[in-house]
Structure 1
């Protein structure tokens, strides 16, 4: 794919969409840490310097992808939570919805340690503002279903969802050597460990926050 220099706003938007779509495609093939700016730009059909006309770094591209995935997840989660009110059920639905979105989990796992390490103040400010909106929306969805958790508890849970997902996700993607050893030991598969662990951690978080708020 070859692009001429974008001059009109719609052309700029087209270039940005092409870069983001390519980033998403590459993320379905391997982890974000393995995707370089050079590979991304080659796949889009632009020089690295031209990609940087639209995003200030490789990391800024993936933060934008994360922002989109985060919003799409919340749109879906809102529907999945319809009619759910028990803390255990709510936390279980949140966990299952995350398990079904490996791209989101991959980006969340690299957010603080990788993606936020090489961005401009402007990009960081914009992303953090949108992240705050997303976290607030998740907290609101949880509090609507579980009023007993309280406002502060719902915000804490929304933050814990990110931290727990980020911590557990690498265990869902072990190296081949580690996966082989796990099989030899008769351990559950990595995907099962992630799904089960995420559900248990989130259930314990939400149930514990409700108990503290109402105790």
Structure 2
């Protein structure tokens, strides 16, 4: 591939998107930990130093991918929530929330790495841009939650989605165990406890919505 140094803003953004597309392609068939800058460079048929002109690290590349996936997820969730009537039962919201999460498996795969790798190993300009965009998306979702539940505050809306994120990011790897772990867990099936992603996450989101609604009723 002819990768002469990009000069214009358009050329730079085009180069960055080519790198993101190559990383995304590898991510569709590999786990995050198994993807290296060398692998991305080979996919593009360029040198590894060429990537450093546009990204400071592998984590910064995947922070951008996470951001794109996160934006798609939020837009889909907000659009779905706008179709609900005022004061929906919390289970209706939580079930819908989980359904939208399941439509974005690449986001779910990256969520466990957000705080421990992607954000920690990205440059300050990338982090500032990422956080600004994400907080704006979270604010839009918080607004939609206050429309559905007028008693809730914006702060409640932020906390509900933060708790949903924490539950989903920790639950996703646990609900997709290795073959060895699956064999171990099969020995406890007599307990008849549903540890599936859909069930546990929907129960968690529902519980948090109910909790904040109860607090606001008590404050009224």
Q: Same fold (TM over 0.5)?
A: yes
2:78 counterpart of 1:75: no
Deviation at 1:2, TM superposition (A): 4.6
SS of residue in 1 equivalent to 2:168? helix
The answer to whether the Cα contact below 8 Å between 2:94 and 2:206 also exists between their aligned partners in 1 is yes
Residue 10 (structure 1) shift: 2.4
Task: Specify the alignment match of 1:51 in structure 2.
Answer: 51
Q: List runs of 5+ in structure 1 lacking aligned partners.
A: none
Q: After superposition, what is the alpha-carbon deviation per residue over 1:25-64, rounded to whole angstroms, capped at 9, x for unaligned?
A: 2222222222111112211222121111111111111111
Match of 1:168 in 2: 171
Pairs within 5 Å for 1:1-215: 1-84=1-84, 85=86, 86=88, 87-183=90-186, 185-186=188-189, 193-215=196-218
Size of the aligned set, in residue pairs, is 213
Map Cα deviations across residues 100-141 of structure 1 (whole Å, 9 max, x no partner): 211111122210011112112222222122221122122122
Give the number of the structure whose alpha-carbon radius of gyration is greater: 2
Q: Could you list the runs of 5+ residues in structure 2 that have no partner in the other structure?
A: none
What RMSD over aligned residues (CA atoms) do the two structures have, in Å? 2.1
Measure how far apart 1:183 and its partner are. 4.0
Confirm or deny: 8 A CA contact 1:3 1:45 kept in the other structure.
Answer: no
| TM-score where L is the length of structure 1 | 0.89
Query: Does the 8 Å CA contact 1:60/1:115 hold for their aligned counterparts?
Result: yes
Q: Distance in 2 between matches of 1:5 and 1:187?
A: 62
TM-score, normalised via structure 2 length: 0.88
* Distance in 1, Cα, partners of 2:132 & 2:25: 26
